[in-house]
Chain A
Amino acid sequence: MGDAAGGAAGAASTADTVRTLQSRIRQMQASKLDSRSIPTHPAIAELLPGGSLKQGAVYSVDRSATLLMALLAGPSAAGSWCGVVGVPEFGVEAAARFGIDLDRLVLVPDPGDQWLAVTAAIADVMGVVVTRPPRRADDGSVARLAARLRQRDATLIVLGTWPQSEAMLSLSESDWSGIGNGHGYLSARQVTVTVTSRTHARPRSARLWLPDREAAFRSAGRVPQAAQPDLRPVLREAAG
């Protein structure tokens, strides 16, 4: 009994390792000549076009601040500076808990009318910039900002919609655990994360723990495959 359980757990961890390695290989390969990847959480990276967040690109996040923090956690842990513009209700404590380094996090809660200029100025010096447009920006400013992001190799994450975004991430079917009717407390939740992008024919979605009981992000609902997974097809896929 112990052997069987140990074998299943071992298989699951092997499969996890393979998946992580696979996603890292995909991240290191440039999809275009001049676009490089930035470290992304493996659970979300699988859904994104090109297999990771890219420098110089714009991503949209629909409403969820936790999903935004999940996107920031990877680059921040890898040493990038993150700037958050125009989001006064950004939960700093949650950000610290989800693995964003507060020493390298800068907040500009009230940029006012100058939000576009401030976003561009922050993008000049920081790897990842988050912004929430108070209104729709005109096409000229959007194009100028996009050019600046490409030049500076910065990634922009927009809370809301953005005309030129690489992918749009949204949450649905939140399922909280740990809380009942009058007892318990919020401890973990499973959600479906859906990524819509121009390059994918149809939206990709996955079930994720966002966050799990240890305040970490991981994919959920994966069943362990065979006892001894065959690594060869995976490697072939990674190489090809």
Chain B
Amino acid sequence: MTDTGGAVRTTRDVPSVVRTLVLWCPDWPVTAAVRAGHLDADAPIALIEKGLVFACSAAARRAGVRRGLRVREAQSRAPELLVQPYDPLIDHRTFDGVVDAIEELMPGTQLLRPGMCAIRSRGPSRYYGGEEPAARALLDCLDAQGLPDSRVGVADGPFTAEHAARSTLTGPGRVRVVPEGESAAFLAPLSIGLLDDPALVTLLRRLGVNTLADFAALPAVDVHGRFGEHGARLHALASGLDSRAVVPRVPPEQLERAIEFEPPLDRVDQVTFGFRATADRFLDALTEAKLVCTAVRIEVRTETGETSERTWLHPRSFTASDVVDRVRWQLQGSGAIDSGLGSAISRVRVAPESVDSIGNHEVGLWGGGPDERIHHGLSRVQSMLGHGGVLTAVIGGGRSLADRQTLVAWGDRPVPDRPADQPWPGQLPPLPPSTVFRAPPPVIVLDAGGRSVEVDERGALSGAPAAFAPATATDAVRAVTAWAGPWPLEERWWDAETSRSAHRFQVVDADGTAWLLVLERGAWCAEARYD
């Protein structure tokens, strides 16, 4: 009994440290963007997040671009810089294939973040006869994956191993092995800034603690007393006592399905018919895993190598015929079912984007209520007219009527284009028109003397509107009995493509119908009708 208690106390005092092998691919976000976007790896590329450079390629770094620079500053340093938005999803998706390849070689991989993973070194080093040969084997595997720049570090615990891998950037080789028990000595000269807690790092710097060795030299009990559990854990990291275990990931089940067409098919109905069996297998696999799918990702590759990708949402969950419908809609766009395609289709792949437990989607004993019926009915109409044929509406913010209403295809998430909670000065008075023309018909507006009404640069009218007529039938003149305006609309003057400068009028004609007339760039049109 006493022995066991003593043993427990000992393990707590000196945490057990696992020899870990960490693999690192430098600049992974850039590598991922190059692979996903078919960019040139040697070009200067910068990925931007929130207006700052998040990652950059080696060529960009040579030109002076650094992480954290503003976009404009980076572009002035490297004028030929390719700027792309940063997408963490691409990082993960691209690294997934690499992890699969590593797992074939060495099972039990833990993904630390995209571009970096940890493996317990005990198994591989026994198999390959040492840590160095194991690391070499891993690098060979990555070279085969087309990642010649990757690095490996082997040390006690993931933290030290990660920094061993990073230290190879300045050293000669691509592998750095820190012998067992020498972690503290390896970490000692490194900067305190490596700890992942900016607030604590700032405080320690002010206290004169600048290296990990300085921090490790502080008594562990005092650090615990002053900075709590979190501080104590960072203190252990700095001392080379990284007690984190390597937790191997559970390889995800392969739920995606693909079909290759040989020879490639060039008609929509042929492709959808050929895909039907694949959709059935896709759904069977999901059901076997006790899952339902609420969003799928469909990738279609054409003979010429173009790829079209799209994610489709479903208000409930996909059935096999729903998946086939989505493939068809993606292929045909707005065309008819028997229309030809621009290029023949060689491969269709379907992958679940979000899944849910099947238990949450089980239909009740007496059916799933009225919504399901409505969804079936509308899906039928969608299969007649295409995905965008059935719409739901949501009202957002904006100044013009077309801006304010957002129409979303049935099944997609209704999100307004512009936030409704902003003030939007310059919007129309509260009564909204009941008829909003999709293509506003041009009209002519005349004053009492029969001259066309114009608005000058200061917003003054050339004459009161007395009559208006459709531009296509100028003899069908309607007399104006009441009118109000002009209400100016000046939007986005800084952007030549979307800027808008218009004057709006409400007029009532002799029949009692009211119209919203718009004068934009010297031309009048009827935007809406209050009928």
B484 within 8 A of A: yes
Cα(A215)–Cα(B401), bound, Å: 17
User: For A89, what are the chain B residues with a Cβ–Cβ distance below 8 Å?
Assistant: 435-438
Q: A66-B434, A176-B512 are in contact. Are A93 and B373 (CB under 8 A)?
A: no
Chain A residues whose C-beta falls within 8 Å of the C-beta of B433 in the assembled complex: 91, 94
Please tell me if the beta carbons of A125 and B376 are within 8 angstroms of each other in the complex.
yes
A174 to B514, CA, bound (A): 9
Question: Which of the 9-residue segments A32-40, A102-110, A160-168, A201-209 touches chain B?
Answer: A102-110
Q: Is A182 an interface residue (CB 8 A)?
A: yes
Closest chain A residue, CB of each to CB of B480:
A181
Out of B376, B381, B391, B482, name the residue touching A179 (CB < 8 Å).
Answer: B482
Which residues of B are found within 8 Å of A117, using beta-carbon distances?
Answer: 384
- Taking chain B's interface residues, is the majority helix, strand, or loop, or is none over half, making it mixed? mixed
Stretch at the interface among A7-15, A17-25, A43-51, A183-191: A183-191
Nearest A residue to B386 by beta-carbon distance?
Answer: A110
Total interface residues on B, CB under 8 Å, equals 46
Q: B479-497: which residues lie under 8 A (CB-CB) from chain A?
A: 482-485
A107 touches B512 (CB 8 A): no
Is B346 close to A, CB under 8 A? no
- For A108, the closest partner residue in chain B by CB is B390
**A198 at the B interface (CB under 8 A):** no
Task: Closest B residue to A173 by CB, please name it.
Answer: B512
| A211 to B432 CA separation, bound complex (whole angstroms) | 11
If A89-B436, A176-B508 touch, whether A105 touches B483 (CB-CB below 8 Å) is no
Interface of A is mostly: mixed
For residue B531, which residues in chain A have a CB less than 8 angstroms away from its CB?
63-66, 171
Contact B506 A105 (CB under 8 A): no
| B123 vs chain A, min Cβ distance (A) | 56
Q: Is the CB of A65 within 8 A of B434?
A: yes
B482 cross-chain contacts in A, Cβ below 8 A: 176, 179-181
* A interface bracket (residues with beta carbon within 8 Å of B): 35 or more
Within 8 A of A (CB), among B392-444: 392-395, 401, 404-405, 407, 410, 429-438
User: Do residues A121 and B395 form an inter-chain contact, with CB atoms below 8 A?
Assistant: no
Contact with B along A78-109 (1 / 0, CB 8 A): 00010000001111111111000011011111
The answer, among B376, B395, B404, B514, for a CB contact under 8 Å with A186, is B514
CB <8 Å contact, A121 and B384: yes
Asked if residues B429 and A186 are in contact (CB atoms below 8 Å), the reply is: yes
In the complex, which of the residues B394, B405, B407, B483 contacts A182, with contact meaning CB atoms closer than 8 Å?
Answer: B483
Residues of B within 8 A of A184 (CB): 484
How far apart are the CA atoms of A184 and B392 in the complex, in Å?
Answer: 34
Distance in angstroms from A174 CB to nearest chain B CB is 3
Which residues in B have their C-beta under 8 angstroms from that of A173? 512
For the complex, is B52 an interface residue (Cβ under 8 Å from A)?
Answer: no
Q: What is the minimal beta-carbon distance from B215 to any residue of chain A, in angstroms? A: 57
- Contacting B at CB under 8 A, from A63-77, are 63-66, 68-69
* Interchain CA distance A187-B528 in the complex, whole Å: 15
Q: Are A94 and B432 in contact (CB under 8 A)?
A: yes
Q: Tell me which residues across on chain B come within 8 A of A183, comparing CB atoms.
A: 484
Contacts of B389 in A (CB 8 A): 108, 110-111
Tell yes or no: B455 within 8 A of A by CB.
no
Nearest A-chain residue to B380, judged by Cβ? A121
In the complex, 29 of the A-B residue pairs with CB atoms within 8 angstroms, ordered by the A residue number, are A65-B434, A65-B529, A68-B434, A69-B434, A91-B433, A91-B434, A92-B393, A93-B401, A93-B404, A93-B405, A93-B432, A94-B432, A102-B395, A103-B392, A106-B378, A106-B410, A107-B393, A111-B385, A121-B380, A121-B384, A122-B381, A125-B378, A173-B512, A175-B512, A176-B512, A181-B482, A186-B530, A189-B512, A189-B530
Besides A91-B436, A184-B484, 18 other A-B contacts (C-beta < 8 A): A63-B531, A64-B434, A88-B438, A91-B401, A93-B401, A106-B378, A107-B391, A109-B391, A109-B438, A114-B384, A114-B385, A121-B377, A121-B381, A122-B377, A122-B381, A180-B482, A182-B464, A185-B429
